[in-house]
Amino acid sequence: MGEMKVLQPGLFSSIQDYGRFGNMEFGVPASGVMDRYAARTANLMLRNDANHAVLEITMMGPKLEFTAVTKIVISGAYLSPKLNNEEVENNTILEVAKGDILSFGRRIIGCRAYLAISGGFTTEEILGSKSWYDGISKHEKLQKAMAISYKEDLATKIKTNAILKFDEDYLKTDKVEVYEGAEFKFLSETQKEHLRNAIFSIDQNNNRMAIQLQEQLQNDLKPIITGPVVPGTVQLTPSGKLIVLMRDCQTTGGYPRVLQLSDKGIGTIAQKLTNEKVKFCFKKSL
């Protein structure tokens, strides 16, 4: 067994897979990687399953030491990764030897990077998922001196998955793909036009649970009878705030659901920083 030792924790990193599926009926948030595209790409390059557990790294990366031979791929945000102080690339397989140290430097683009490891991290699974979530898993985020387990991988031959190319356009665009939400039809034409055309800025209240937007939308809709919400649901609060629910969101809510982000849209907005701009780009759902 190998361990990834945390020398420095960085800002906020957590183990995530595709989430705690099948527990919504008990009110358990799904959790899981914020940007599935990047996590999947990193995993598939290593010939892992798309939903194998990865380390989700937010803005400022940790400093990690590996205790056994393995291979890793970093994808998503570019946070200037270094292996033993030498700059390395995102989206390529990196061979890691015993004692190697992975660190990160300046953030260049995006908000969240994904570190996938051959075979996936072998940390504890609770209710069908390895995803960390406060109150369900033992840990919420990476802390100094933690050790994250993985299986040693001695295979020397690396079969690169040549077809896999990481398309980083979504890290640069301000266009967030959305569908009309369940209560969109109750909005006035002015409100609808506003959602279609306005540019919104990411509020400082943004985390794995929800991303709030700074600009408000004048609101006269009544609250709804508490109903299901899922990651990507955009709620409109009585004060006119737009809240984009993310992977750690509750399972139900009582605010009108005006928009619904596509999977791609969730990945796009997950990579935005406070004050960055977004524009909703409507897609037909059926």
Partner 1 sequence: MSRDLPQISPLGDNAILVQFEQIISEKLLDKVLFYRNLIQQLYVEQKVEVINTYNSILINYFVAIEDVYSDVKAIKEVFQQHNNTKILESSVFEIPVCYDLEFGIDLELIAKEKNLQISEIISLHTQPEYRVYFMGFLPGFLYLGGLDKKLQISRKSQPRMKIEKGAVGIGENQTGIYPKVSPGGWQIIGNCPINFFNKNTQIPAQISAGDYIKFKSIDRTEYDCVKQQVEQGKFQLNKQKRNG
Q: Which of 154, 162, 163, 286: binder of partner 1 (CB under 8 A)?
A: 286
Residue 232 CB, shortest distance to partner 1, in Å, is 5
Q: Is 64 within 8 Å of 7 (Cβ atoms)? A: yes
- Part in contact with partner 1 (CB under 8 A); list of ranges 9-17, 159-167, 177-185, 192-200: 177-185
CB of 30 to partner 1, least distance (A): 8
When the beta carbons of 78 and 132 are compared against partner 1, the nearer one is 132
CB 282 within 8 A of CB 180: yes
CB 181 within 8 A of CB 233: yes
- How is residue 129 annotated by DSSP? B
CB of 29 to partner 1, least distance (A): 8
Per CB under 8 A, 233 contacts partner 1: yes
Q: How many whole angstroms separate alpha carbon 74 and alpha carbon 19? A: 20
Question: Which DSSP letter does residue 42 get?
Answer: H
Helix (H) or strand (E) holding 79: none
- For helices 263-270 and 36-45, angle between their N-to-C axes, nearest 10 degrees: 90
Q: Give the span between the Cα atoms of 94 and 88, in whole angstroms.
A: 8
CB of 18 to partner 1, least distance (A): 7
- Give, as one character, the DSSP assignment of residue 134: B
Instruction: Give the pair of three-digit tokens for residue 37.
Output: 């595209």
User: Using an 8 Å Cβ cutoff, are 172 and 184 in contact?
Assistant: no
CB of 28 to partner 1, least distance (A): 5
- The answer to whether 273 contacts partner 1 (rule: CB under 8 A) is no
**Taking CB under 8 A as the rule, does residue 227 contact partner 1?**
yes
Rounded Cα distance, 207 and 248, in Å: 9
Interface with partner 1, residue 1, by CB under 8 A: no
| Residue of 1, 26, 154, 163 interacting with partner 1 (CB under 8 A) | 26
Pick from 7, 207, 263, 277: which binds partner 1 (CB under 8 A)? Answer: 263
By CB under 8 A, residue 207 contacts partner 1: no
| Residue that has been written with the tokens 């990196």 in this structure | 94
> Under the criterion CB under 8 A, does residue 239 sit at the interface with partner 1?
no
Nearest residue (CB) to partner 1, 49 versus 95: 49
Contact call for residue 186 and partner 1 (CB under 8 A): no
Out of 92, 143, 160, 226, point to the residue binding partner 1 (CB under 8 A).
226
* Structure-derived torsion over alpha carbons of residues 208, 213, 219, 224, reported in degrees to the nearest 10: -10
Question: What does the per-residue mask of binding to partner 1 show for 136-165, with x meaning CB under 8 A?
Answer: x-----------------------------
Q: Is 92 in the site for partner 1 (CB under 8 A)?
A: no
Strands 54-58 and 63-66: unpaired
Phi, psi of 220 (to 5 degrees): -125, 15
Minimum distance from CB of 233 to partner 1 (Å)? 7
Positions in the binding site for partner 1 (CB under 8 A):
18, 21-28, 126-127, 135-136, 179, 181-182, 224-228, 230, 232-233, 250-252, 257, 260-263, 285-286
